[in-house]
Amino acid sequence: MVLQMARPQKNPKSGIYYFRQKTPADLVAAFGKKEAGWSLRTKDPEEAKARNIEAVRKQAMVWAALRKRPEPLSHKQIVALSGVLYRDVMTTLELNPGEATIWEALLGLLDRLASSPESSAKWYGPSADQLLLEQGIVTDDASRARLLVELDRALRQAAEQQLKRANSDYSPDPKADRFPALSVSPKAAPDGGSIRALFKLWERDHLANGKSARTVGDFRHKVEALIEYLGHDEAQRVTPENIADWCDHLRHEKGLAARTVSQKYLTVIKIVFGVAVEKRKLKENPAKENKVRFVKPQRTRPKGFTENEARAILTAALADPARLGRRSEENKRAIRWAPWVCAFTGARITEAMQLRTDDLLFETVAGVRVPYLRITPEAGSVKSGNYRIVPVHPQLQAMGLVEMIQSLPSGPIFYSLRPFRGKAADPVERAQNAEAKVGVWVREDVKISDPQLQPNHGWRHRFKTIARNADIAPEYSDAITGHEDGRAASDYGEMTITALWREIQKLPKWDIPGA
């Protein structure tokens, strides 16, 4: 049965796109729902289309699995499946394990569940079923019951390792290799010759270099899209013509923009195959010479906020928090301070949202105690991968930013680390959620709705404009915002608080009532 390609659907209130697909008539009883669906976690229509391709692929595996006849699993297969859960937890939280108290609480919860087989089955059952579906496995009740036991062991092992990391111990897990590999798909090429194996080579180096674990997921779904199109996983069989045809397929049959195909899909494949050439797994990169031409969209307005737009947002941020309704205290705090922090730092909104109380530091300059913010990959996602320091502008000090941060308990400033539905908090995900909610507030409450304007990123552009007007030299402006100019000279010497404090004071105050 061939299903029509499901299109991403936009939630009219949040603006977030969702994957939706009707359940085949013959599988409604087995699946238990008339529709499959989940959030694609993006508001970008082009990115939603891209993620929708992976969602369709995953759901197709679910339908195929439901049509299979149940088969018992060997003990080795069951332990291998539990290893998928272990590796997912370890990889996702590779750089930011969160607070030790989270993992202590989770281990305590697992101990309590162990005393009640029924509660344990309810806890692990959904994870087991989802894991089996994603792997295209249909098994019997006895094998599923044994899988629940192994999932408990795997999650405990991962939680114990994350607790070590939270306590600053990143030594390797001595039992990490106890999980065998899942059986290779019949379509897969021999080990080392598959496209997925090449992706693993890139992934290993990417994570070893301290890069974002979230990028791994983005790369994986582009690689899987290529494999799905080719109908095989053999790297040696891929030709430049295959890549060109795939790019045309993405553009004209999947409806992706040329810019998306070029800068996201094709770029990923070039990188993965490029690593394979560097490691002598392939002689040539079949995607190296491929190009997808696109025309940059014409702009009819500045990329940053105009003076009136910036004033509207900053003014609205000063409103009584009670007017923000049933939002959490952390979300209200984000709406109150995020625009002002970004206005005076040029920080990416996620960088601001992932700030922790201990990222507020002080240094004495010419007898003045200067507060400054530390933006660091240790707190979450930093695009350049480097930490930087930004002095707190005098107007932010006068508005009480420093006192607000000092009044909070140790931990993140703009989101909570409380577990949700038994799931430990992912700091990067929580910061991104806070960012998204500020963006929705800008669009819906402040009515800054121009589609050419990014509701949060506009502050980076606005900061650069004001910095130029204030005669702040590019090298200082770049140091404050975290931009890199590519010059070797920029890597020499340090940007001190003394220099940055001198420059940050050049930024004019905003003449807004209440600020």
Identify whether 18 is part of a domain. Answer: no
Per-residue model confidence (pLDDT) at position 238:
92
Beta-bridge mates of residue 21: 36
End-of-domain residue from the set 273, 297, 321: 297
- The total of other beta-carbon atoms located within 10 Å of residue 364's CB is 10
Identify whether 97 is part of a domain. Answer: no
Both 259 and 368 in a single domain?
A: no
Pick the closest to residue 58 from 137, 132, 1, 134 (CA basis). Answer: 134
Q: Hey, is 194 helix, strand or coil?
A: strand
Both 234 and 364 in a single domain?
A: no
Instruction: Report d(CA 107, CA 357) in Å as an integer.
Output: 26
Looking up tokens 């930490």 gives: 387
What CATH number is given to the structural domain containing 193? 1.10.150.130
Six-digit token string for 246:
């795939």
Per-residue model confidence (pLDDT) at position 352:
92
Across the chain, which distance is largest between two alpha carbons, in Å?
77
Torsion of CA 419, 423, 427, 431, to 10 degrees: -80
Q: Hey, is 9 helix, strand or coil?
A: strand
Both 323 and 193 in a single domain?
A: no
Both 360 and 460 in a single domain?
A: yes
Q: How many helices (H) and strands (E) does the chain have?
A: 20, 6
Both 337 and 462 in a single domain?
A: yes
Beta-bridge mates of residue 28: none
End-of-domain residue from the set 245, 273, 297: 297
Identify whether 131 is part of a domain. Answer: no
Both 281 and 322 in a single domain?
A: no
Q: Is 278 within 8 Å of 198 (Cβ atoms)?
A: no
User: Please, what is the end-to-end C-alpha distance for the chain in angstroms?
Assistant: 62
Instruction: Report d(CA 273, CA 265) in Å as an integer.
Output: 13
Both 322 and 366 in a single domain?
A: yes
Both 283 and 326 in a single domain?
A: no
Instruction: Report d(CA 346, CA 348) in Å as an integer.
Output: 7
Q: Is 96 within 8 Å of 379 (Cβ atoms)?
A: yes
Domain region containing 266: 185-297
Identify whether 221 is part of a domain. Answer: yes
Q: What percent of the chain has pLDDT over 70?
A: 90
Pick the closest to residue 426 from 115, 57, 47, 90 (CA basis). Answer: 90
Both 287 and 345 in a single domain?
A: no
Identify whether 202 is part of a domain. Answer: yes
DSSP letter at 261 equals I
Please give the distance of CA 38 from its chain centroid, rounded to a whole number.
Answer: 16
Identify whether 489 is part of a domain. Answer: yes
Both 274 and 325 in a single domain?
A: no
What is the tally of structural domains in the chain?
Answer: 2
Beta-bridge mates of residue 38: 19
Per-residue model confidence (pLDDT) at position 295:
82
Per-residue model confidence (pLDDT) at position 191:
42
Which H helix or E strand runs over 57? helix 45-66
List, for the chain, all residue ranges whose pLDDT scores fall below the cut of 50: 1-5, 184-192
Both 350 and 442 in a single domain?
A: yes
Which contacts of 403-409 are long-range, i.e. CB under 8 A and separated by 24 or more positions?
A: 404/333, 404/337, 405/357, 405/360, 406/357, 406/360, 408/357, 409/357
Per-residue model confidence (pLDDT) at position 3:
39
Q: Hey, is 360 helix, strand or coil?
A: strand
Q: Is 108 within 8 Å of 390 (Cβ atoms)?
A: no
Both 338 and 392 in a single domain?
A: yes
Per-residue model confidence (pLDDT) at position 457:
83
Identify whether 40 is part of a domain. Answer: no
CA distances from 425 to 96, 240, 350, 384 (A): 10, 43, 16, 24
Q: What are phi and psi of 39, to 5 degrees?
A: -70, 135
Identify whether 262 is part of a domain. Answer: yes
End-of-domain residue from the set 264, 297, 330: 297
Pick the closest to residue 351 from 342, 343, 339 (CA basis). Answer: 342
What CATH number is given to the structural domain containing 360? 1.10.443
Q: Is 285 within 8 Å of 276 (Cβ atoms)?
A: yes
CA distances from 177 to 87, 103, 180, 481 (A): 11, 22, 7, 42
Beta-bridge mates of residue 35: 22
The identity of residue 382, as a single letter, is V
Looking up tokens 């059952």 gives: 125
